[in-house]
């Protein structure tokens, strides 16, 4: 049973660690080719575009304001409604033939510059210009480098392709379409990001103490066997492993290769049915993680100790405690209920519970034996995250990591391997998210630091755990600061977290003269060299 569980968790470890993302969101732009200048220095803002068709309220679309043009009202009550008409010619690269009296003009992208379209629309008497992109994504409209006539007094908004097509169809069917344009301000910091930070830090904190406690119990058991000269000495390694799996150098390097292949597979095969497969895998891992955490928690109480120490043989699964048998049905039911109702508004609670339980169990099971392996693993993950968020755009014309995390082309609201919390005070709604890998991978190093401190009998002041935990918290905090400064662009969280955690650990070990021990052994020297605190 232990061998099967190890293989399952190694697979789950790769699956849940692949989509490492701080947050999702991507808007194409070309600021480097056309920097800010007078008349073309607006900040890019998201624009709400509620619509009415023949007086009946319809879909509310989201666009992005241009670098040029007038700014929009921040409150809905202050924004005026305008009739929407289709430009003639549709690209608005010449003065429209429409008789406009304060109407908003809907035009197609292409044929001439954005500012030329806006100038023609303003000259014709339009109150605003809405430009339809030829892709589903939004595009940040800027001024061309050699343009001079950029003093435009009407707002210009870019709409995604599907939104523009819907509006155009309504207009062509002779319906009266009315729109309202306003841009509510987002809060500098949303409470959801604070809670997400606490969840990530708390997950690593709980997993680290569980891992360190298990390692200390194993060390005590080994010392007893050595002291008693027991005949079971030859089997110490198998007994003391406690079902844990140590990552070696080869595994650390292969992780990047396997995770990259899995990420590309997700990107290429992204569809509704493939998301369903991921949901099933997530539920299997969530059930195992939840029952492991609940059983471990209940075993701490005297009333459940006997049930936790009494076992029964189950075909295929081997010996299982009565407590596990009692808890497992509830965990399965919880997971199934979440899977069935995962599209409702508060389903994120169940996803986070299953995800946290899974990550705590993985961090307790999978371990780095020393700082050398931890450095290689995190360095590879650091490069992996940067490559698939930023560099992958050169080959795939879009960020592979961001597309996978958002669940584009799947009909679902992202993949399940994320912790998510709805933005509470953000008028734009949405979720703040963090990938499991952004917690698990640095969490392996933080958990190693506490195991080392306990086995070396170090206090908080002379140990490494407090420093490692603080470094992770600061790295994650900087990730959210960068996310807010980058206008919603997806950020690779490990870009910020790895330098903080790994850099702090290496620097502190060097200054204390313990880097060699941390780098090679990662544990106190045992009485017999061949008996070490590591898993088979």
Residues carrying an active site annotation: 385, 438
Sign of CA dihedral 37, 43, 46, 51: negative
Q: What is the dihedral of CA 397, 402, 405, 408, to 10 degrees?
A: -40
**Of the candidates 369, 367, 389, 371, the residue with the CA atom closest to the CA atom of residue 379:** 371
365: left (phi over 0), alpha (psi -120 to 50) or beta: alpha
CA distance 354 to 221: 32
Check: CB of residue 501 under 8 Å from CB of residue 475. yes
* 6: nearest Cα among 320, 361, 416: 361
In sequence order, the 6+-apart residues with CB closer than 8 A to the CB of 396 are 267
In Å, how far from its chain's centre is CA 362? 18
Please report, to the nearest 10 degrees, the dihedral formed by the alpha carbons of residues 14, 15, 21, 27 taken in order.
130
Q: Is 125 helix (H, G, I), strand (E, B) or coil?
A: coil
CA gap 89, 87 in Å, rounded: 5
129 is written with which tokens? 């210009």
Residue listed under structure tokens 């009485």: 527
Contact 388, 260 (CB under 8 A): yes
């Amino acid at each position: 049973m232990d061998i099967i569980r190890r293989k399952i968790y190694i697979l789950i470890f790769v699956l849940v660690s692949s989509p490492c993302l701080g947050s999702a969101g991507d808007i194409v732009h070309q600021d480097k080719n056309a920097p800010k200048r007078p008349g073309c220095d607006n900040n890019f803002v998201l624009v709400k575009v509620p619509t009415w068709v023949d007086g009946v309220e319809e879909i509310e679309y989201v666009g992005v304001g241009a670098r040029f043009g007038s700014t929009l009202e921040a409150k809905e009550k202050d924004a005026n409604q305008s009739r929407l008409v289709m430009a003639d010619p549709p690209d608005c690269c010449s003065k429209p033939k429409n008789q406009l009296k304060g109407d908003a003009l809907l035009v197609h992208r292409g044929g001439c510059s954005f500012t030329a379209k806006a100038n023609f629309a303003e000259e014709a008497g339009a109150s605003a210009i809405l430009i339809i992109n030829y892709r589903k994504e939004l595009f940040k409209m800027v001024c061309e480098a050699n343009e001079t006539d950029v003093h435009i007094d009407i707002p210009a908004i870019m709409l995604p392709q599907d939104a523009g097509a819907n509006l155009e169809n309504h207009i062509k069917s002779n319906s009266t379409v009315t729109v309202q344009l306003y841009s509510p301000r987002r809060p500098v910091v949303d409470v959801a990001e604070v809670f997400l930070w606490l969840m990530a830090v708390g997950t690593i904190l709980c997993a680290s103490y569980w891992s360190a406690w298990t390692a200390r119990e194993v060390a005590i058991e080994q010392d007893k066997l050595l002291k008693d000269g027991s005949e079971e000495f030859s089997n110490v390694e198998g007994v003391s492993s406690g079902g844990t799996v140590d990552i070696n150098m080869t595994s650390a390097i292969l992780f990047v290769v396997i995770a990259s292949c899995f990420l590309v597979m997700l990107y290429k095969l992204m569809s509704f049915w493939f998301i369903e497969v991921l949901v099933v895998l997530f539920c299997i891992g969530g059930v195992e993680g939840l029952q492991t955490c609940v059983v471990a928690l209940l075993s701490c109480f005297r009333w459940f100790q006997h049930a936790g120490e009494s076992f029964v043989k189950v075909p295929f699964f081997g010996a299982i405690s009565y407590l596990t048998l009692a808890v497992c049905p509830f965990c399965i039911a919880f997971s199934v209920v979440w899977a069935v109702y995962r599209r409702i508004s508060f389903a994120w609670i169940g996803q986070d519970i299953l995800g946290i339980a899974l990550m705590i169990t993985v961090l307790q099971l999978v371990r780095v034996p020393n700082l050398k392996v931890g450095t290689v693993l995190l360095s590879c993950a650091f490069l992996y995250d940067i490559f698939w968020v930023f560099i992958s755009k050169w080959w795939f014309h879009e960020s592979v990591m961001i597309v996978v995390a958002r669940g584009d082309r799947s009909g679902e609201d992202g993949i399940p391997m994320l912790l998510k919390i709805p933005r509470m005070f953000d008028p734009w709604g949405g979720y703040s998210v963090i990938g499991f890998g952004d917690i698990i991978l640095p969490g392996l190093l933080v958990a190693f630091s506490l195991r080392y401190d306990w086995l070396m009998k170090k206090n908080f002041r002379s140990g490494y755990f407090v420093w490692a935990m603080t470094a992770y918290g600061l790295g994650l905090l900087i990730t959210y600061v960068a996310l807010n400064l980058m206008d919603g662009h997806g950020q690779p969280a490990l870009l910020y977290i790895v330098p903080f955690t790994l850099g702090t650990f290496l620097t502190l070990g060097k200054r204390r003269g313990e880097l060699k021990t941390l780098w090679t052994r990662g544990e106190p020297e045992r009485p017999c060299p061949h008996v070490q605190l590591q898993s088979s």
